[in-house]
Amino acid sequence: MKQINTKTNWGLVGLLVLLLAACTPAIEPTPEIALSKAWVRLPAGGRDVTGGYLVIENRGGADVLLSATSSIAEEIELHEHVMEDGMMKMREISDLNVPKKGQLVFAPGGLHLMMFGVTDLSLGQEVELVLQFERSGKRSTMAVVGKQLTSGH
Ligand SMILES: [Cu+2]
């Protein structure tokens, strides 16, 4: 390649750097996810569907909860309860925003992990829940199998 001008134009370089910086979206701080108070409701006699609950605390930047898995369930969906035509219904959420410096509380009657194909759970048993976050990757916590505290999931 033939060099036309060996002298670097620093003014132009500076301008390009500024333009690049302006185009870069504001960098969100790293999320700091902590999982706690996890429990799984002991399924009602003979049923293989139940709810899982926990608290997701985030002391850092925003993140997104994508999915959840556990060795004791064939499938887990993220669910919320919504009022529809005067009736409380469950709805699946594809992904759930975890606000920066905020927390999400999964509890009966609200957000819950809907667990399908659950078998052989006993009271007091500890089971692992694995949550997949967009930025934080996989995070796991131990959940205790407990009795239904209120109606609903
Ligand atoms: Cu549900």
57: domain CATH number is 2.60.40.1890
Distance 35 CA to ligand 1 centre (A): 20
Q: What is the enclosing helix (H) or strand (E) of 89?
A: strand 87-92
Distance 116 CA to ligand 1 centre (A): 10
Range of the domain at 142: 33-146
Per residue in 63-100, pLDDT tens?
999 999 999 999 999 999 998 889 999 999 999 999 99
Query: 139, 130 in Cβ contact below 8 A?
Result: yes
Distance 90 CA to ligand 1 centre (A): 5
Per residue in 51-65, pLDDT tens?
999 999 999 999 999
Q: Hey, what are 79's tokens?
A: 């669910």
Q: Hey, what are 121's tokens?
A: 């759970």
User: How far is the CA of 145 from the CAs of 38, 48, 66, 124, 137, in angstroms?
Assistant: 9, 14, 23, 5, 25
The answer to whether position 112 is within a domain reads yes
Provide the whole-model pTM.
Answer: 0.78
The answer to whether position 110 is within a domain reads yes
Query: 139, 131 in Cβ contact below 8 A?
Result: yes
The answer to whether position 8 is within a domain reads no
Distance 36 CA to ligand 1 centre (A): 20
Distance 100 CA to ligand 1 centre (A): 25
